[in-house]
Amino acid sequence: MDMHKLTRELAAKNDSKIVMLVADGLGGLPQEPGGKTELETAQTPNLDRLAAKGIQGQSIPVKPGIAPGSGPGHLGLFGYDPLQYQIGRGALEATGIGFQMQPGDVAIRCNFCTLDADGNISDRRAGRIPTEESAPIAISLREISIPGIEIFVEPVKEHRFVVVFRGEGLGGNVKDTDPQATGVPPLDPVADDSASEKTAEVAKEFLRQAREILKDQPKANFHTMRGFAARPDMPTYEEVYGLKAAAIAVYPMYKGLASLVGMEIVGEAATLEDQMTVLKENWDKYDFFFIHFKYTDSTGEDGNFADKVKRTEELDACLPAIEALGPEVLIVTGDHSTPAYLKSHSWHSVPTLLVSDCCRPDPHTSFSETTSITGGLSQFEAKYLMLLALSNAGRMGKYGA
Amino acid sequence: MDMHKLTRELAAKNDSKIVMLVADGLGGLPQEPGGKTELETAQTPNLDRLAAKGIQGQSIPVKPGIAPGSGPGHLGLFGYDPLQYQIGRGALEATGIGFQMQPGDVAIRCNFCTLDADGNISDRRAGRIPTEESAPIAISLREISIPGIEIFVEPVKEHRFVVVFRGEGLGGNVKDTDPQATGVPPLDPVADDSASEKTAEVAKEFLRQAREILKDQPKANFHTMRGFAARPDMPTYEEVYGLKAAAIAVYPMYKGLASLVGMEIVGEAATLEDQMTVLKENWDKYDFFFIHFKYTDSTGEDGNFADKVKRTEELDACLPAIEALGPEVLIVTGDHSTPAYLKSHSWHSVPTLLVSDCCRPDPHTSFSETTSITGGLSQFEAKYLMLLALSNAGRMGKYGA
């Protein structure tokens, strides 16, 4: 059964505030046998104090044993079953650069390539042309015009850019034009279903004009299109939870993911301190706040245990600023684990702490991978976290009489 | 996968007895930060002794974060997925007054109303007419006769009564006749699907005769019909588990819920002591006994922490009488939590204890919200409890070879 059917039915309104602080890649591993994890090594007096008032447990991002990317990791925390809602490659790329896709948009990952005199591909990545050269070339494609279609062209990095088509009747299922080989010409865009035929036609016309614009570029005299994807059709936070939600993030990817579920992206922040300022400034305007902290993940990805410990302590230090605002529900969690030991996202379940005045505190007075094993929330799939948040906030009535 | 497909296949017969003692609303919360719950405050020497022999854990009534009503709460304990089996409003109302619906019955919640001289509703609840006045009026409607249909009219309270139609080909999907407004006439019953057209016709004829019978009643000169609902189509305990099951309850609602899954309602009991007598008297006649204790819920709903503690002690005191009969499996659980702190059903998982000679005891020597976090059953969805009961009773064979 779709949990959103239930949350819609049972939604109750009140003035409560819910804060979900997501420390990306929060969970970790000991660096050596018998050692402590990053979170256990860090000095976290605020988390420990909150642990004494709260209930903790371990969130399973998707299913036991599955390491998620940022997309499914966050969708789970937002209460959207990550096995049901999938974000296509193009949509993820657009989202990752902060492009806010609208329903009906189709996003496409594009690669500049080099064609030889016969029109065959001689380099599928245009010699990995540097970003400072490629970005103006991508921007030059903005002059392409197709009647009835709004077109967005956004540079990414090196040979990569994103194209988004906006218009009526555009399906997202079109085959890649990259033949995955050199010495052959790029393929034509071909629709995989009848709903995507118009998209294939639009892409063909885009490519025709692009070939004209790019013909005198020595390296990047054409481009391929891959990963056509419609915006995933996801109901909004407002619609499924009755929550006016704000996202306070530094990195474009997380703003993009939040916008896919209808959160508003508020403020400009470069640091966690900035994010706390944005939170305070917007406190009266929203019911729900998603705060994203990147560096517990990036230091884990770097395999830098000591830096991940430091970043965890930085996270801990921001908590009093959140508490001072008096949220009815405060959640600290991660979208997945990123142990420095593995230098990558992992499948390990994620320590998760929930504090509210009716959370049924468990006996723990610190917060870690080890304590959360025996926390009152036990292990649970991340997709249920929003149900707990809503109930603890008094925002969900009972099911059935 | 439907667990009942499995239980049917794997069912094994023996002479074991299973007792499920349901303390309604058992789980609680501390009344103040750092405090103990009701169950932790109560002196429960028998539960503690059983905890030492048994295995405990926390039952999640529906899904994490969902507070259930009595219907879904009990269906889960009985092993019927509460998201799959839903009890319509009319069926729940009939069940709630102890009416035992049969397959094919359609139950309808009715409200007496007042019509003005033009036939428009002037009061949708007939001035909340007192029960002592309304009950005889409801009973007067028993003279209504419709060929081929057996009709039951049962007074409830104030302006409310229940009508049940019994006959061939009656679907349960008919629109309410209450226009939810005054100054307009009641609506005609309209079928929502073709299978319910006969029901709509029967309802129309019922209303025609009711209008005639009630026309001289000053306040309650007509009635509306709402929440048409067929009996939920649930297989019986006998069919899915091979268990001859008895329900020993004081309140009509729980007798009704038990009858929906084919339990027999045995004995007349006003107290827990009476229930123990009924249990003893019927011990040889059944395989499974559902014993319902209401007062851990009602005291919680009243917000009366001290009374819930007392009622929990009362529950504890009945356990030796059950143990004396030597059940192979004894389960103590609740259909949901009802913390006095919240004065309502809540989403918190429910301490659950199972004792059998092969239950694999965990190290706990007391039974509470805190101990059950680290009990051997961990957290589990209530719908799996019957599988544990059957296996512990030696009544379920292995799955696959």
Q: Note down pLDDT in tens along chain B; length 401 residues.
A: 789 999 999 999 999 999 999 999 999 999 999 999 999 999 999 999 999 999 999 999 999 999 999 999 999 999 999 999 999 889 988 988 889 899 899 999 999 999 999 999 999 999 999 999 999 999 999 999 999 999 999 999 899 999 999 999 999 999 999 999 999 999 999 999 999 999 999 999 999 999 999 999 999 999 999 999 999 989 999 999 999 999 999 998 899 899 999 999 999 999 999 999 999 999 999 999 999 999 999 999 999 999 999 999 999 999 999 999 999 999 999 999 999 999 999 999 999 999 999 999 999 999 999 999 999 999 999 999 999 999 999 999 999 98
| Tokens coding A162 | 């994103």
pLDDT at B194: 96
Averaged pLDDT, A22-42: 98
**E strand or H helix at A354, and its extent?**
strand A350-355
B370 touches chain A (CB under 8 A): yes
Please tell me the predicted confidence (pLDDT) of residue B401. Answer: 86
pLDDT digits (tens, 9 = 90+) for A358-371: 999 999 999 999 99
B52-65 pLDDT, tens digit each = 999 999 999 999 99
Decide if B329 contacts B343 (C-beta within 8 A).
no
Residue of B nearest to A11 (CA): B66
**Chain A residue closest in CA terms to B70:** A401
The set of residues, in sequence order, having a beta carbon less than 8 Å from that of B212 and lying 6+ positions away, is: none
Q: What Å distances lie between residue A360 and A6, A53, B311, B372, CA to CA? A: 23, 9, 21, 13
Angle, CA of B171, B172 and B178, to the nearest 5°: 130
How open is the CA angle A45-A247-A277, to the nearest 5 degrees? 55
Higher pLDDT residue, A28 or A100? A28
Contact: A391, B346; criterion CB under 8 Å: yes
Query: What's the predicted TM-score (pTM) here?
Result: 0.91
Is B67–A6 a contact, with Cβ atoms under 8 angstroms apart?
no
CA distance B234 to B245: 15
Task: Tally Cβ neighbours within 10 Å of residue B45.
Answer: 13
What's the rounded Cα separation, in Å, for the pair A395 and A63? Answer: 27
Give the pLDDT confidence score for residue A222 in this predicted structure.
98
- The ipTM, to two decimals, is 0.90
Q: Which residues of B touch A385 (CB under 8 A)?
A: 65
- Tens-place pLDDT, residues A53-87: 999 999 999 999 999 999 999 999 999 999 999 99
How many Cβ atoms are within 10 Å of A222's Cβ, its own excluded?
Answer: 22
Provide the 8-state DSSP code for A185. P
Q: Per the structure block, which two tokens stand in for B372? A: 């059950």
B191 CB-near residues (< 8 Å, 6+ apart): B171, B173, B174, B175, B197, B199, B200
Alpha carbon distance, N-terminus to C-terminus of chain A: 19
How far apart (Å, rounded) are the C-alpha atoms in residues B377 and B361? 10
Predicted local confidence at residue B14, as pLDDT: 97
CA end-to-end span of chain B, whole Å? 19
Chain B nearest CA to A286, separation (Å): 22
B11 min Cα distance to partner chain A (Å): 27
What is the distance in angstroms between the Cα of A242 and the nearest Cα belonging to chain B? Answer: 16
CB pairs under 8 A between A and B: 88
- What pLDDT score was predicted for residue A32? 96
Residue A21 has pLDDT above 90, yes or no: yes
- The answer to whether residue B77 neighbours chain A at the CB level (below 8 Å) is no
Q: Is residue A240 over pLDDT 80? A: yes
Q: Other C-beta atoms within 10 Å of B358: how many?
A: 11
Q: What is the dihedral of CA A335, A340, A345, A351, to 10 degrees?
A: -30
The answer, for B369 touching chain A at a CB cutoff of 8 Å, is: yes
CB within 8 A of B349, min separation 6: which ones? B27, B58, B59, B60, B61, B64, B337, B379
DSSP-based three-state secondary structure for B146: strand
Q: How far apart are CA B68 and CA B349, in angstroms?
A: 11
**Cβ of B343 under 8 Å from any chain A Cβ?**
no
pLDDT of residue B187: 97
Residues B370, A363: C-beta atoms closer than 8 Å: yes
Which 3 state secondary structure label does DSSP give B11?
A: strand
Which residues make Cβ contacts (< 8 Å) with residue A192, sequence separation at least 6?
A173, A174, A175
Measured distance CA(A96)–CA(A90) in Å, rounded: 10
Copy the structure tokens of residue A324. Answer: 């001072």
**Residue A401's pLDDT is what?**
79
Q: Which of residues 215-274 of A touch B (CB under 8 A)?
A: none
Distance CA A110, CA A210 (A): 12
Whether residue B315 contacts residue B356, with contact meaning beta carbons closer than 8 Å, is answered with no
Looking at the predicted structure, is the pLDDT value of residue A163 above 90?
yes
**A3, A358, A360: best mutation site toward chain B, by most B Cβ within 10 Å?**
A360
Residue of A384, A391, A401 with shortest CB distance to B92: A401
Interface of A with B in 372-391 (CB under 8 A): 374-380, 384-391
Q: Is A385 helix (H, G, I), strand (E, B) or coil?
A: helix
Q: CB of B27 within 8 A of CB of B351?
A: yes
Residue range A246-270: average pLDDT?
Answer: 93
Backbone torsions φ then ψ of B296, nearest 5 degrees: -70, -25
Contact B366, B316 (CB under 8 A): no
Judge whether A313 and A45 are in contact, CB under 8 Å: no
What pLDDT score was predicted for residue B82?
96
> Mean pLDDT over all residues of chain A?
96
Closest by Cβ to A391, choosing from B65, B73, B373: B65
B97/A contact by beta carbon, under 8 A: no
Alpha-carbon distance A27 to A35, whole Å?
14
For B65, which of A1, A360, A387 is closest by C-beta distance? Answer: A387
Q: Report chain A residues whose CB lies below 8 A from the CB of B72.
A: 399-400
Asked if B326 is an interface residue toward chain A (Cβ–Cβ < 8 A), one would say no
Nearest-CB residue to B29 (from A358, A363, A398): A358
Which pLDDT score, from 0 to 100, does residue B92 have?
A: 87
Alpha carbon distance A368, A385 (integer Å): 18
d(CA B201, CA B204): 5
Chain B residues with CB under 8 Å of A3 CB are 63
Q: What is the chain B residue with the closest CA to A392? A: B65
Q: CB distance A391–B69 less than 8 Å?
A: no
* 3-class state of residue A17 by DSSP: coil
Q: What percent of chain A has pLDDT over 90?
A: 94
Structural domains in chain B, sorted by start: 3-85+234-392 (3.40.720.10), 99-230 (no CATH)
CA distance A74 to A294: 12
**In this structure, what token pair is assigned to residue B353?**
């204890």
B342 vs A53, A358, A385: nearest CB: A358
CA–CA distances in Å: residue B302 to residues B25, B71, B292, B307, B343: 12, 20, 19, 9, 6
Reduce the DSSP state of residue A105 to 3 states and report it. Answer: coil
